Amino acid sequence: MKVIEITHPIQEDQYIKEDVAMAFGFFDGMHRGHAKVFETLNQRAEETGLKKAVMTFDPHPSVVLNPERKRTDYLTPIQDKVEIMESYGIDYCLIINFSSKFASVSVEDFIENYIINNHVKECVAGFDFTFGKYGKGNMMILDQVEHFNTTTVYKQERESEKISTTDIRKALKEGELQDANDSLGYRYRIKGTVVQGEKRGRTIGFPTANVEPSDDYVLPKKGVYAVTMEIGPESKLYRGVANVGVKPTFHDPAKAQIVIEVNLFDFDENIYGERVIVYWHHFLRPEIKFDGIDPLVEQMNKDKERAKYLLAVDFGDDLSYNI
């Protein structure tokens, strides 16, 4: 897949030189609703014999258009998004820097310079896709342009509710992990690097890997989770318990930084500096403050047994399963 990063105005050498079918959208989360857009893109490309292209944007338009409610953390930061797109067999990925200048591009200019001049013959996007200054462009306008065909993908639902990035983000932050995963169509994941921590866990029998996210991910609700973790280039996944939070038994919640710590079952290796992926399976409980070490350790043992049970239900004894 060829990735083309564009800062407005688009340059001549950045145009796609062959006819393509193109999907448009921000696609944060690459969830089941987005999957329908990519399925439709694939179908239109096969029917017309065209290569497949995607146009997406970075950062989120709210950074420019709605600073008071700007979105600066993501379900799938741009590199994760690109990786997932590649798995769909996309030939071209155009990443448009969503700047103030780009936000001022007229509807007509966007159609001419970002669609027609990119040899787009089939446009595919969700029903709520907008473009151009003040978001005045929409799918009905594209449908009236003679230079290409337009296919609108209507809302995808789960239990009679529209699948949306906003709702998935909300579910993660409220501890509704199952709802989030069901809407995503896969288990939520955070990539990171194992860094030095306080090493307090090993003193109470629960050594942990302190995972520093590699990008601006949406963090799940503070609490304890059943997880699996992929380490380095291995395909093998290790089961464990993760804590997201400030460890209020030891720290002032108002001053402490939120961290991700993972205790892997039956694991005793030095993995500092390793790149890892944490997959979030089940929310066990909120983070709470304990009156001392003993009740904390007692609860951690219960969390571990609960996580082992839930992960065993998910995967049995298979230690090399794929997520």
In a domain, 255, yes or no: yes
Whether residues 195 and 287 fall in one domain = yes
Whether residues 154 and 6 fall in one domain = yes
- Rounded to 10°, the helix 165-173/177-184 angle is 150
* C-alpha span between 91 and 93 (Å, rounded): 7
The range of the structural domain enclosing residue 43 comes to 2-160
State the pLDDT at residue 198: 66
Whether residues 108 and 196 fall in one domain = no
Indicate if the pLDDT at residue 203 is higher than 70: no
Whether residues 10 and 134 fall in one domain = yes
Indicate if the pLDDT at residue 321 is higher than 50: no
In a domain, 311, yes or no: yes
Q: How many domains does the chain have?
A: 2
DSSP tally for the chain: helices H, then strands E: 9, 14
Whether residues 113 and 223 fall in one domain = no
Task: Write down which residue in 94, 125, 160 finishes a domain.
Answer: 160
In a domain, 174, yes or no: no
State the pLDDT at residue 293: 80
CATH value at residue 23: 3.40.50.620
Whether residues 42 and 96 fall in one domain = yes
Whether residues 208 and 289 fall in one domain = yes
Whether residues 240 and 156 fall in one domain = no
Q: Which uninterrupted H or E stretch holds 308?
A: helix 293-315
Task: Write down which residue in 124, 145, 160 finishes a domain.
Answer: 160
In a domain, 179, yes or no: no
Give 16-33 pLDDT, tens digit per residue. Answer: 999 999 999 999 999 999
In a domain, 196, yes or no: yes
CATH value at residue 202: 2.40.30.30
Whether residues 134 and 246 fall in one domain = no
Give 303-320 pLDDT, tens digit per residue. Answer: 999 999 999 998 865 554
In a domain, 181, yes or no: no
Whether residues 110 and 208 fall in one domain = no
Residue pair 86/95 in contact by the 8 Å Cβ criterion: no
Whether residues 24 and 153 fall in one domain = yes
In a domain, 206, yes or no: yes
- What would you report as the CA-atom Rg of the chain, rounded to the nearest whole angstrom? 22
Alpha-carbon torsion, ordered 245, 248, 250, 256, to 10 deg: 60
Task: Write down which residue in 160, 177, 210 finishes a domain.
Answer: 160
Give 153-168 pLDDT, tens digit per residue. Answer: 999 988 888 899 999 9
Whether residues 113 and 200 fall in one domain = no
Q: What is the mean pLDDT of residues 239-264?
A: 81
Indicate if the pLDDT at residue 199 is higher than 70: no
Give 111-150 pLDDT, tens digit per residue. Answer: 999 999 999 999 999 999 999 999 999 999 999 999 999 9
